[in-house]
Amino acid sequence: MSSHDTTATVGPEAPHCPYPLYARLRTRGVTFVEEVNAFMVTRAEDIDTVLRDVETFSSCDALGLPPPEPGNGPAETGFYLVTSDPPEHSRRRRLAHRAFTSGRIARFEPQMRAMSVELIEGLRGRAEVDFVADFAVKLPIAVISTVLGVPEADTAAMRRLSEKVLSFLNEAPDPVGFMRACEEFGALLAPALEAAAGVEQESTILHTIAASGLDAQDATRFVIELLFAGNVTTADVISSSTRMLAEDPRLADRLRQDPSRLTTFLEESLRLESPVQGLYRTATRDTELGGTPIPAGARLLVSFGAGNRDPKLAERPDEIDLDRVSPHSHLAFGRGEHTCLGHALARLEARTALEVLLGTVRRFELAVPPDQLDYQPDLHARHLRSLPLRLYWS
């Protein structure tokens, strides 16, 4: 595949700031990129085609994990929603969907708000903080643990294991390490799931999953996926949104004066800084995408981060526009069969966190120049490792 006409290289700066690369690739269409060993799909129209055609473009390798070394065991990931295809994916998703209705999620808003207030008040009086470590990574694990019904005593271990799973997916993917970390997750979750199965009233999502009809192994794996996705990606949404506001105090003041615009701002943040920048698909047959031939077995890196800045998806795509007519039309949560199951939870949690931050801290700004912000060097996730902020309380 590397001899295909449409090829490109990433360049050393791209993983830290991928948007110039995305813009170049959009002008070329579907392009084979050596460093990721995949055709990068960067135009919104082509991304939509891939996401909706689940027969031609399989999710079996969505995480892009390489095969394990001989003797180290299989990289068994097909049991996760993100790496499964219909009809099995559809069956599991139907069973799990009732746990994530908007009405069920909305019941947890008071707890989310109380957690946000407690974390922000814990920073009161400090002139400078690392907002990632001091807030953004703490809130999501507390929320997802509460929503799921995981015992509070286990939340620290859940956070540690989430970070461990992430480390095996980024930079130097390690399928064996990934699977072993998931096994640790499963061992930690098994008692809570077993206890939830014996409760008649479905008061938490863990109870709903336990009663859903999924067998014990699938239920455990599904909870692992929710914990990881609900922890890491939501932390990235909160971090990126806060960074945007720290760089634009007039925008922050506008949102303080009119909190109803926070919903649109959050959608713009999701579009501009998608926490999941890309996932893989595998061609199940010879096909063509955007005029580029794709052979059976080829990998495609579906770049949500690039598609979200496609001028055909959004006018003035690199700008925040609080008056955008269709702010929800972005690709940050995917589309079609694999639309993110937890999007309502992520949106509510991030919006609540921003409301509390803006309502409590009079002003905040970056404590380092923007070009010194430390991002995970990755084309698959937009992960801010730290966010030094100066806080002004009165």
Q: Is residue 83 part of a domain?
A: yes
Q: Any idea what the CATH number is for the domain that residue 59 is in?
A: 1.10.630.10
Residue 158 has what DSSP assignment?
H
Phi first, then psi: what are they for 299, rounded to 5°?
-95, 145
> Which residue, 381, 267, 366, is CA-closest to 326?
267
pLDDT for 74 = 39
Give helix then strand counts, H and E, for the chain.
16, 11
Q: Is residue 115 part of a domain?
A: yes
β-bridge pairing 38-41 and 299-303: parallel
Alpha-carbon distances of 33 from 168, 231, 244, 307, rounded to whole Å: 22, 30, 30, 16
Q: Is residue 287 part of a domain?
A: yes
pLDDT truncated to tens, each residue of the chain (394 aa)?
Answer: 434 445 666 666 666 789 999 999 999 999 999 888 999 999 999 999 999 999 999 999 888 876 555 444 434 555 678 888 988 888 778 777 777 778 888 989 999 999 999 999 999 999 999 999 999 999 998 898 888 777 777 777 777 777 776 666 655 566 677 777 777 877 877 777 777 776 665 667 777 777 777 776 777 777 777 777 777 889 999 999 999 999 999 999 999 999 999 999 999 999 999 999 999 999 999 999 999 999 999 999 999 999 999 999 999 999 999 999 899 999 999 999 888 888 888 999 999 999 999 999 999 999 999 999 999 888 888 999 999 999 999 7
Give the domain range for residue 28: 7-392
- Omega of the bond leading into 87 within 30 degrees of 0 (cis): yes
Q: Is residue 1 part of a domain?
A: no
pLDDT for 72 = 44
Residue 82 has what DSSP assignment?
G
Would you state the structure tokens that stand for residue 280, as one six-digit string?
Answer: 């893989």
pLDDT for 206 = 77
Q: Is residue 68 part of a domain?
A: yes
What does the angle CA 364 – CA 368 – CA 373 come to, to the nearest 5 degrees? 105
Would you state the structure tokens that stand for residue 169, as one six-digit string?
Answer: 């997916």
- Buried (b) or exposed (e) across 225-250, using 16+ Cβ within 10 A? bbbbbbbbbbbbbbbbbbbbbbeeee
- Buried (b) or exposed (e) across 356-389, using 16+ Cβ within 10 A? bbbeebeebebbeeeeebebbebbbbbbbebbbb
Q: Is residue 2 part of a domain?
A: no
Q: Is residue 109 part of a domain?
A: yes
pLDDT for 382 = 92
DSSP string, 231-261: IIIHHHHHHHHHHHHHH-HHHHHHHHH-GGG
Instruction: Quote the number of domains for the chain.
Output: 1
Q: Is residue 168 part of a domain?
A: yes
Identify whether the C-beta of residue 75 lies closer than 8 Å to the C-beta of residue 175: yes
pLDDT for 172 = 59
Q: Determine if the pTM surpasses 0.85.
A: yes
